[in-house]
Amino acid sequence: MKTIEQLTNVDKAKIIFDLFRNEIPEFLEYVGYMADKVLNDKDELTANWNNPFLSYQQWLSLSEHVSATVKRYDKTLSKSGNVFAEQLFGGYSALFTNHCLEQYGLHRVKSPRFTQAINLFYLPVKSATPINCQYLVLEMHGGPEYATICTDTDGNTLVFDNRADAEAEAADCQDGLIVEI
């Protein structure tokens, strides 16, 4: 058996399916609901969009792809853990599906253990004590699709141990964004 650090996104989804098979049909309905929401709430979402890594159009494309996958595989997704995991949690579209899974765990889940499994597999570990963080600075160049990581004169990625230093670097950039790593 793999350790939790060795599990891929697909492996985790397969385990979730095996443990909570009775939740899968309702989760798939929720995925459809979320995809419809992305499509139908365009004005609200674009006005409040603050994701520096994906544009609304990219998110819409992911939601449409996942929605089409759910419609294409229909009942097979509820019957086969392999199909469920590979089709919904493999590749780039897993960004949207993982988001749906997190939101489902927060708002619709019936089993508290399902929420615990989502937290275990998909959400970052939150330390009870403050940890030393490092920071990268992204130069957005007018939009997330043009983002680059700031480098030194030799082309090495700049990693800051101090947030103040990262903020100073971001101030010198066109649309600088600080990312905690």
Of 53, 77, 32, 58, the closest CA to residue 136 belongs to: 53
CA–CA dist 114, 83 (Å, integer):
20
Is residue 129 a part of any domain in this protein?
A: no
Give pLDDT tens digits for 28-41.
999 999 999 999 99
Residues 67 and 14 in one domain: yes
Question: Among the residues of the chain, which ranges form H helices?
Answer: 9-19, 24-40, 42-48, 56-73, 76-79, 81-89, 94-107, 112-122, 163-171
Is residue 164 a part of any domain in this protein?
A: yes
Residues 97 and 166 in one domain: no
Residues 111 and 148 in one domain: no
Per the structure, how many domains does the chain have? Answer: 2
Residues 117 and 145 in one domain: no
pLDDT at 102: 92
* pLDDT tops 90 at residue 147: no
Residues 14 and 92 in one domain: yes
Residues 97 and 142 in one domain: no
Residue 176 structural domain? 135-180
Q: Which of 17-31, 39-53, 101-115 has the highest mean pLDDT?
A: 17-31
Is residue 127 a part of any domain in this protein?
A: no
Residues 118 and 142 in one domain: no
CA–CA dist 150, 139 (Å, integer):
7
Contact assessment for residue 54 and residue 128, using Cβ atoms and an 8 Å cutoff: no
Q: Which residue has the tokens 């082309």?
A: 155
Residues 97 and 13 in one domain: yes
pLDDT classification of 129: cutoffs 50, 70, 90: low
> Cβ-count burial of 92 within 10 angstroms (0-12 exposed, 13-18 middle, 19+ buried)?
exposed
* pLDDT tops 60 at residue 148: yes
